[in-house]
Structure 1
Amino acid sequence: MLTEICELARNAGSALMEVYYSDKLINISYKSDQSPVTNADKIANTIIKNGLVHLFPNIPILSEEDSNNIKYDKNWNIYWLVDPLDGTKEFLKKNGEFTVNISLIKYGIPILGVIYAPYFNLLYCADKQQAWKINEKGYKNKISIAYSSIPKFVISRSHSNKKVYNLLNTIKKYTIEKLGSSLKFCYVAEGKAQFYPRFGKTYIWDTAAGHAIVTAAGGKVITYNERKNLNYSLFSQLSLINPDFLVLS
């Protein structure tokens, strides 16, 4: 299953890059929350959903790009959670820091995750409590978290928040790097960073694939206030919005 999902993410990523390199093909509209959406999002969404339906016709799909007319059953115990273009702002800024995210949720837990960064041709994936990185040359290596006496924090490039800097002020020594999309999860999973704090609105499709990869690599993704694992059970969701959370090694 993981191999098939990785290939599907690569196919969606190839379609994104065709739009990325052709300004004439980029059409921008805005959702109800004023977040941008492009025709690239929609193209990648179609590729992923069609692929998942073909491969696994009995598993339902919840995708960000259906969010304006979203339909789901709170009793879904197993479902696909998809963000076909995570980091649309980075896509439009042309800095390359955007990803394709696909995850499989089982009883509220992300048990499989794939994040593909097509601009860098980097793919991160996890299944059965093992996490891997496939680099631009095609080499597949197992990844795991790493500790540091001077921890590195990765924070959002496009979404700043005073709470992040209030947290950093409580720590004596650290380094910081701004990064777009779910690559922040990947940095923690492969030991390039130790913390990713996120305050403000994110949706479950923004985090599930990264959550699967970080936990398989030995890290944690927990709510900031209650210190509980992020939960993706649709039955227990009051909305599809995550609480503030921490990703840590």
Structure 2
Amino acid sequence: MTDYLKLAAEVGEITRLAGAAIMEIYETEDFGVEMKSDDSPLTKADKAGNDVIVAGLEALEFQAPIISEEGKGVAYEVRSQYKQFWLVDPLDGTKEFIKRNGEFTVNIALVEAGKPILGAVYVPATGELYYSAKGEGAWKVSDGEPERIAAASFTMQDTNLRVVASRSHLNEGTQAFMDKLDQPEIVSRGSSLKIIELATGSAHLYPRLAPTMEWDTGAAHAILLEAGGKMVDDGTGKELRYNKENLLNPFFIAYGNVREELLAC
């Protein structure tokens, strides 16, 4: 039987190695920026991180197929048959990387039956590592031994809830969500760190009413779940699912440890 917490720690080490490769490029003058078909940027660091992750996952005793943002697309007819698979974003926050603000991450999730059951998120600029395994809690490693993390407990009626959002780019839907809260405080973070803010209890809510892809959220979603939070489809209220035919996520709301009976806002 697989020890998923041990596996999560091993995957965390792979994210560290990818982070080291990314930081080598971060400290140079030439990021080799290209634009993808969707007008999002791609750098040498995305490619270098992906190469390290793929090699690391393929070297593990535990084997599963890999779906990566920077890998070749896998037809739905094929991946729909996967019982488990690795979901990889080698550099989440490429725009933050290019801006050199440090708010970018390396992300690996293990998905089973549409749910992320293991996640590892590494922050190369700070050396912080977060990982989780289903039923085994969520953990942070910065210096020394892993420390368990937990989402903050709250109700939607609380004052001064901390909401992860952009101060300068609040779209109409996000503003409408904010308007229902009692004097919310905005927390601005890049990449999957938005979700990690909830998992560590540093923020309470993250309304993402704009497009994201499955690999943007899978690893941090796994960590948030084990920390006591959730990420739900804004339209249905159901937990986000993975390995859909279209890998685009629906708009969603991520919550820390919110009381169920007061979830509606």
Q: TM-score, normalised by structure 2?
A: 0.87
The unaligned stretches of length 5 or more in structure 1 are none
1:133 alignment partner in structure 2: 140
1:102 alignment partner in structure 2: 108
Q: Deviations over 1:197-243 (max 9, x none)?
A: 101110000000011000000011100110000001x3xx2311000
Per the TM alignment, residue 147 of structure 1 is displaced from its structure 2 partner at its CA by 2.8
**Separation in 2 of the partners of 1:96 and 1:170?**
32
C-alpha change, 1:55 and 1:188, in structure 2 (3 Å) is: same
Q: Is the 8 A contact 2:121 2:220 kept in 1?
A: yes
Equivalent position SS for 2:16: helix
What is the aligned residue count? Answer: 242
1:120 alignment partner in structure 2: 126
Q: Does 1:2 align with 2:8?
A: yes
**Separation in 1 of the partners of 2:119 and 2:167?**
23
**Separation in 1 of the partners of 2:29 and 2:229?**
39
My pick for the range that moved more, 173-182 or 138-147, is 138-147
Instruction: Pick from 218, 230, 234 the counterpart of residue 240 of structure 2.
Output: 230
Q: Is the 8 A contact 1:77 1:107 kept in 2?
A: yes
Instruction: Pick from 70, 74, 85 the counterpart of residue 79 of structure 1.
Output: 85
Q: Does 1:147 align with 2:153?
A: yes
Amino acid paired to 1:35: S
Counterpart mapping for 1:154-165 below 5 A: 154-156=164-166, 160-165=170-175
Q: Does 1:209 align with 2:216?
A: no
Equivalent position SS for 1:205: helix
Per the TM alignment, residue 90 of structure 1 is displaced from its structure 2 partner at its CA by 0.2
1:221 alignment partner in structure 2: 231
1:65 alignment partner in structure 2: 70
2:39 alignment partner in structure 1: 34
Equivalent position SS for 1:197: strand
**Separation in 2 of the partners of 1:9 and 1:47?**
8
**Separation in 2 of the partners of 1:98 and 1:140?**
21
**Separation in 2 of the partners of 1:81 and 1:157?**
30
Amino acid paired to 1:62: I
Per the TM alignment, residue 77 of structure 1 is displaced from its structure 2 partner at its CA by 1.7
The unaligned stretches of length 5 or more in structure 2 are 1-6, 257-265
Per the TM alignment, residue 58 of structure 1 is displaced from its structure 2 partner at its CA by 3.6
Q: Deviations over 1:138-193 (max 9, x none)?
A: 34210111135321001258965221112101212211111100001111001000
Note the aligned Cα RMSD (angstroms): 1.5
My pick for the range that moved more, 29-38 or 139-148, is 139-148
1:173 alignment partner in structure 2: 183
Amino acid paired to 1:94: R
**Separation in 1 of the partners of 2:167 and 2:64?**
34
Equivalent position SS for 2:187: strand
Counterpart mapping for 1:11-50 below 5 A: 11-24=17-30, 26-50=31-55
Amino acid paired to 2:96: E
C-alpha change, 1:58 and 1:126, in structure 2 (3 Å) is: closer
Amino acid paired to 2:55: N
**Separation in 2 of the partners of 1:108 and 1:243?**
14
Equivalent position SS for 2:253: strand
Q: TM-score, normalised by structure 1?
A: 0.93
My pick for the range that moved more, 36-45 or 161-170, is 161-170
Amino acid paired to 2:44: N
Amino acid paired to 2:193: L
C-alpha change, 1:160 and 1:36, in structure 2 (3 Å) is: farther
Equivalent position SS for 1:145: coil
Q: Is the 8 A contact 2:166 2:186 kept in 1?
A: no
